[in-house]
Chain A
Amino acid sequence: MSQSNTTAVHHVHRDDLGAKMGMWVFLFTEVLLFGGMFLVYAVYRFQHPELFKLAALELNTAMGTFNTIVLLTSSLTMVLAIVALQKMHKKLSLFYLAVTIGFAFVFMVVKYFEWSAKFSHGIYPGSEELLNKQNGEILFFGLYFVMTGLHALHVIIGVVIIAFLYVFIKRDKITHDNYVKLENGGLYWHLVDLIWIFLFPLFYLIH
C-alpha cells in the first residue's frame, strides 16, 4: 500500500479494482452461506406448506415492514455518504454515515422487541411450548431464529465497519480521491440489505 514508487513519485500505487474484486469474492461466500439456508427453507416449506403458513401468522408483519423500510433507507444514506465524499463534502459524508448507524440501531431495537415478544410467548429454540407444536412449525421458527439471527449479527458487524469508516474519514485516511474502503464497506452494508429483501417476504408475508 505505502510502497514508494521510484518512477512515479506523484502517484501512490494502489489497486482499487483489485480491492473491490476481493470484496465481491467475499460477498459471494456470504451469498453461498445464506443461499444454503434459503435452500433448507425451500425444501421444508415444500414439505410443510400449511404449517409454515400457520407459523408465519405469529410474526408481526407491521414490524417487519417497518424494519424493511428502515434498512432500505439506511442503504440510501450509505450510498449518499459515498457521493458526498466524492463531491468533497466531508462533513455531509460523516453525517450520512452517522444516520446509517442510527438506522441500524433502530433496526436492532425493533428486532429486540420482536424477539422478546416471541420469548414471552414461550417461543424460542428448544422451548417446551415450541417443541409441543407440529414439526413444520418447529422448523419454521428454527429457520426464523437462525436466519434473522445471523442477519442481525451481520447488522452488528456492519455497524462496527461503518464506525471505522467514520473515524477513517474524520482522520483523512479515506478521502475524496481514495475511498475504496468506503465503497467496500458500503457493499457489505448493501448485502445486509439484499439478504433482508428476501428474508422479509419469505418469513413475514406468508398468508
Chain B
Amino acid sequence: MEHGNTEHKEHSHGYGIYILVWLALIALTSITVTVAGVDFGKIALPIALFIAAVKSMLVINFFMHIKYEDAIFKVFLLLSGMTLLVIFILTFFDVFYR
C-alpha cells in the first residue's frame, strides 16, 4: 500500500519471515544429518525423505512464494507432483511384482 506498486497483487514481506524459514531449513538439515548417524534400520529412508519433503515445502511455500500465489499455481504444482507420483507407482508395480 504505502509503497504504491503497479502490481495487481503485492505480498511484500520484510526480511524477517525469510530469515526464520532459513533458520528452520538449517535446523532440519542438522536434524537429518544427526538422525542418519543413528541406526533406524528400515525406517531410516522414510525419515530422511520426510525431512527432505518438509524442507522442500518450506522452500516452495516461502522462497518460491507459492503460499501467496493464485490458486492456479497450486493446481499446477499438484498436477506435476501427481504426474511424478503416478509414474513412480506404476514403475514400482512393475519392479516389485516382476
B-binding residues in A (CB < 8 A):
11, 16-17, 20-21, 24-25, 28, 31-32, 35-36, 39, 42-43, 46-47, 61, 65, 68-69, 72-73, 75-76, 78-80, 83, 86-88, 176-177, 183, 186-187, 190-191, 193-194, 197-198, 200-202, 205-207
Contacts and interface: CB of A to CB of B under 8 A. Distances in A.
A189 to B, nearest CB: 9
Contacts, number: 115
A72 B25 contact: yes
Given A11-B6, A186-B64, A201-B52, 19 more contacts: A31-B80, A32-B84, A35-B87, A42-B88, A42-B92, A43-B95, A65-B33, A68-B29, A72-B26, A76-B19, A83-B12, A83-B13, A86-B3, A87-B12, A190-B63, A198-B52, A205-B48, A206-B36, A207-B37
A75 B91 contact: no
A77 B39 CA distance: 35
Contact of A28 (B18, B29, B69, B76): B76
Instruction: Provide the main secondary structure of the chain B interface.
Output: helix
B80 A28 contact: yes
Nearest to B64: A190
A20 to B, nearest CB: 8
Nearest to B39: A207
Contacts of B29: 65, 68-69, 72
A47 B91 CA distance: 13
Contacts of B33: 61, 65, 205
Contacts of B18: 76, 79-80, 83
A75 B88 contact: no
B56 A31 contact: no
A24 B36 CA distance: 33
Nearest to A17: B70
Contacts of A187: 64
Contacts of B25: 72
Query: 3 closest pairs, A vs B, by CB?
Result: A205-B36, A201-B48, A76-B22
Contact of B83 (A32, A47, A88, A186): A32
Given A35-B87, A193-B59, A198-B56, A88 B7 contact: no
A201 B6 CA distance: 43
Given A194-B59, A198-B52, A198-B56, A24 B5 contact: no
A35 B90 CA distance: 14
Nearest to A205: B36
B63 A75 contact: yes
